[in-house]
Amino acid sequence: MGDFWLAWGDAALWILGFGAIGLIVDQVVFAWLRSKGRDGRHPTILQLASGLHWLPTCLGLILGMRIGLTHAPVTLKVYNNVILGIQLLTILVITAFGARILGRIVRAYTMREDTPFPSGSIFVNLVRGVVWLVGGLMMLATAGVSIAPLVTALGVGGLAVGLALQPTLENVFSGIQLLASGQIKPGDFIRLDSGDEGIVLDVTWRNTTVQKPTNDIVLVPNSVLARAAVTNYSTLDPEFGLVIPISFASAGDPDAVERIALDVAREVIAACPEAVPDAEPTARFAELTPPAAVLNVVIRCRTYQDRIPVRHEFVRRLAKRFAEEGIASPPIPLTSSRRQ
């Protein structure tokens, strides 16, 4: 009886010993990788360090279990079953960590500014899905399950599944097409043909998440977004030309209106950090329908989102200047109810 417990004690010591070695290696590698990527120039190394964390510890415990099993007093049948379980556990651990590491590396790589691939959860999920598929097939092969009939059955049933999941597959491929073409990527400010506008937060396998300026979230199916007319304001040149129409009485002096509008626009450009400082404003008369005329003033903004504070400041200053200069507004036509 004493030899029985002594043998199990030896097996436990092997497991604990290799687990401790794996933990030490884990901490050393993790600290070394973090020191390499702490300068900010290599974000991929930081993701690799985060993904590899605890993998050496798990592998150390599995190796300790494998060696400790040889010292355990078990029958041959139990020994073979445990060996098979250890093999399946090893594949499972490597698959799980592999999916996590590759997913984080892909996310870090696609978020770099110098990469041609845009960031999006759909790419990360595809990489993780491929890793889990390969790992699952390896586990089945290790367990003695024939993969060839399974692959054949999946190929035959894939057609029926594809037809049943046609809307879902359309969203998946539409999301891949949107990201691969570079038309839309996370961080872009877009406007949909429905009138909704906001910042693209993410493109998943089913929909695109857009955050409106009011902080509301709009979920647009990828297939709908691929067919819709979308205006992307985050192009290679993010500057936006803000057109502000000004109505005034056509009986007044148009030269004075143009001069005042340009003076106010220059003041706004100098005062607002959202306006492009080196861009000269322009003014063009657009309409003449007595008793009113319209003058369009164009001010360059740094981004499309910056148009709101620029327009606010311009309208506020222009109203004060018009009041000081005596510029008359066009008369408001009376409605039938007001005539009565």
Query: Both 6 and 141 in a single domain?
Result: yes
122 within 8 A of 110, measured Cβ to Cβ: no
Would you state the pLDDT for residue 335? 45
10 within 8 A of 38, measured Cβ to Cβ: no
Query: Both 133 and 38 in a single domain?
Result: yes
Across 263-273, average pLDDT: 95
Q: Which residue has the higher pLDDT, 1 or 110?
A: 110
Residue 338 within any structural domain of the chain: no
> Is 140 a residue whose pLDDT tops 90?
no
> Is 332 a residue whose pLDDT tops 80?
no
274 within 8 A of 219, measured Cβ to Cβ: no
Q: pLDDT digit string (tens) for 13-45?
A: 888 999 999 999 989 988 888 887 776 666 678
Mean of pLDDT over the chain = 84
CATH code for position 311: 3.30.70.100
Query: Both 223 and 306 in a single domain?
Result: no
Q: Which domain holds residue 304?
A: 240-325
- Three-state SS at 307: helix
Residue 205 within any structural domain of the chain: yes
For 158, list phi and psi in degrees, rounded to 5.
Answer: -65, -30
| Alpha helices (H) along 191-253 | 222-227
Across 111-137, average pLDDT: 75
| Alpha helices (H) along 272-327 | 307-325
Residue 154 within any structural domain of the chain: no
Residue 159 within any structural domain of the chain: no
Would you state the pLDDT for residue 3? 67
Residue 179 within any structural domain of the chain: no
297 strand-pairing partners: 244, 283
Query: Both 246 and 227 in a single domain?
Result: no
Among the listed ranges 1-5, 92-96, 124-128, which one has the minimum average pLDDT value? Answer: 1-5
Residue 12 within any structural domain of the chain: yes
Query: Both 309 and 203 in a single domain?
Result: no
Task: Tell me which of 210, 232, 254 is where a domain ends.
Answer: 232
> Is 274 a residue whose pLDDT tops 50?
yes
| Residue 209, token pair as written in the block | 């998440």
- Three-state SS at 234: coil
Pairing of strands 231-232, 207-211: unpaired
Q: Count CB-CB contacts under 10 A for residue 314.
A: 24
Across 83-95, average pLDDT: 94
Query: Both 69 and 108 in a single domain?
Result: yes
Query: Both 205 and 94 in a single domain?
Result: no
Which conformational region is residue 306 in: left (phi greater than 0), alpha (psi within -120 to 50 degrees), or beta? alpha
Query: Both 217 and 250 in a single domain?
Result: no
Query: Both 219 and 255 in a single domain?
Result: no
72 within 8 A of 60, measured Cβ to Cβ: no
| Residue 58, token pair as written in the block | 């798990």
Among the listed ranges 66-80, 155-169, 257-271, which one has the minimum average pLDDT value? Answer: 155-169
Cα–Cα distance, 200 to 202 (Å, whole number): 6
SS3 assignment for 109-129: HHCCCCCCCCCCHHHHHHHHH
| Residue 152, token pair as written in the block | 């054949």
Task: Tell me which of 232, 250, 268 is where a domain ends.
Answer: 232
Task: Tell me which of 145, 173, 194 is where a domain ends.
Answer: 145
> Is 334 a residue whose pLDDT tops 50?
no
Would you state the pLDDT for residue 339? 41
Q: Which residue has the higher pLDDT, 41 or 192?
A: 192
Query: Both 292 and 315 in a single domain?
Result: yes
Query: From residue 197, how far is each of 179, 185, 190, 210, 230 by CA, in Å?
Result: 19, 14, 6, 8, 9
> Is 329 a residue whose pLDDT tops 80?
yes
Strand order in the sheet with 292-301: 240-249, 292-301, 282-289
pTM of the predicted structure, to 2 decimals: 0.62
Among the listed ranges 68-77, 133-142, 161-170, 184-193, which one has the minimum average pLDDT value? Answer: 161-170
Would you state the pLDDT for residue 268? 96
> Is 340 a residue whose pLDDT tops 80?
no
> Is 338 a residue whose pLDDT tops 70?
no
pLDDT band at 252; cut points 50, 70, 90: confident
> Is 293 a residue whose pLDDT tops 80?
yes
Residue 164 within any structural domain of the chain: no
Q: pLDDT digit string (tens) for 194-219?
A: 888 999 998 888 889 999 988 999 99
Query: Both 138 and 11 in a single domain?
Result: yes
Cα–Cα distance, 217 to 280 (Å, whole number): 37
Residue 333 within any structural domain of the chain: no
How many distinct structural domains can be found in the chain? 3
Across 54-68, average pLDDT: 91
Q: Count CB-CB contacts under 10 A for residue 116.
A: 8
pLDDT band at 115; cut points 50, 70, 90: low
Among the listed ranges 2-6, 189-193, 237-241, which one has the minimum average pLDDT value? Answer: 2-6
Query: Both 194 and 66 in a single domain?
Result: no
What percentage of the chain carries pLDDT values higher than 70?
Answer: 86
